[in-house]
């Protein structure tokens, strides 16, 4: 999807983290021509199912389906195939699922679907890794999983902005890097542990930024988008 990017506005992904489809669609209506890509995650997809994907896509927007697939290879492959038939452009998968799962996913995807591998969640810390039995440093784990994903045919990575620069250096320019954990200078950190400003993330080599609450919880979401874009431009 890199070739389609013509401005910072095209690199912004707004997270539709809402409990009901009505609230999500209301925001999409408000942002209309200001945003071209929306993330539909577990909360909204569980509440509304494939119909919310179709409804948002009907507005002309691109869909980033953030389900973070992690299961046996056959199950993941079938889910990837179903996402392709649904018409989404991006789909997340946990790289910690291992080579067999990742290769099955890559073989099942349609040409128009970009698989995005999750390295380490932006809410995680070194302590989180230790609690789950991972002895590597956080950065080493991100690099290891990123390389595994690339080797298995995964076209993009979801990663903290703190690891964007090293992943770009290690994996090259062809891999797509998408960063959640991005907070404008004027927004609260919420539950993110490893975050930077949008401008810092882009400067480090990010291709896309995923931003939710600074926009969705704002009194005026459209103004928040414009303020965010102005901050990046400055």
Of 62-66, 146-150, 225-229, the poorest mean pLDDT is in 225-229
pLDDT score of 225? 93
Beta bridge partners of 115: 91
In angstroms, the CA 161 to CA 181 distance is 7
- Bridge partners, residue 211, by sequence: 14
Residues annotated as part of the active site: 68
48-52, 117-121, 196-200 — most confident range: 48-52
Provide the token pair at 37.
Answer: 């890509």
Residue 62, strand partner residues: 37
**Is the pLDDT assigned to residue 72 strictly greater than 70?**
yes
* 13-47 per-position pLDDT tens digit: 999 999 999 999 999 999 988 999 999 999 999 99
CATH class for the region spanning 2-233: alpha beta
182 vs 160: CA distance, rounded Å: 8
Share above pLDDT 90 across residues of the chain, in percent, rounded to a whole number: 69
What pLDDT does residue 197 have?
Answer: 85
- Distance, in Å, from the CA atom of 65 to the CA atom of 53, rounded to the nearest integer, reads 8
Asked if the model's pLDDT at residue 4 lies above 80, the reply is no
For the residues 70-97, what does the mean pLDDT come to? 97
112/148 Cα distance (integer angstroms): 22
pLDDT at 199: 85
pLDDT at 126: 86
Distances (CA, A) of 36 to 62, 64, 74: 6, 11, 32
Mean pLDDT of the chain: 90
Tokens 């409804």 locate to: 55
Spatial distance between the Cα atoms of 208 and 13, rounded to a whole number of angstroms: 7
Tell me the per-residue pLDDT of 143-184, one tens digit each, with 9 for 90 and over.
999 999 999 999 999 988 889 999 999 999 999 999 987 877
Note the pLDDT of residue 32. Answer: 84
């Amino acid at each position: 999807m890199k070739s389609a990017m013509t401005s910072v506005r095209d690199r912004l992904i707004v997270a539709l983290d809402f409990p009901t489809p009505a609230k999500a669609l209301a925001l999409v209506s408000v942002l209309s021509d200001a945003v071209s890509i929306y993330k539909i995650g577990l909360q909204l997809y569980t509440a509304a199912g494939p119909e919310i994907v179709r409804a948002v896509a009907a507005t002309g927007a691109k869909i980033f389906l953030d389900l973070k697939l992690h299961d046996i290879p056959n199950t993941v492959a079938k889910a990837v195939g179903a996402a392709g038939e649904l018409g989404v452009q991006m789909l997340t998968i946990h790289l910690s699922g291992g080579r067999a799962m990742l290769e099955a996913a890559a073989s099942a995807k349609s040409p128009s679907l970009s698989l995005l591998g999750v390295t380490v969640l932006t809410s995680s810390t070194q302590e989180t890794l230790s609690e789950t039995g991972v002895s590597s440093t956080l950065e080493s784990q991100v690099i290891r999983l990123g390389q595994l994903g690339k080797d298995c045919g995964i076209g993009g990575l979801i990663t903290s902005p703190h690891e964007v620069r090293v992943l770009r250096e290690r994996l090259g320019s062809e891999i797509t890097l998408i960063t959640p954990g991005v907070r404008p200078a004027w927004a609260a950190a919420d539950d993110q542990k490893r975050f930077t400003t949008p401008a810092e993330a882009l400067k480090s080599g990010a291709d896309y930024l995923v931003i939710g609450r600074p926009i969705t919880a704002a009194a005026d979401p459209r103004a928040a988008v414009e303020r965010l874009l102005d901050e990046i431009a400055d």
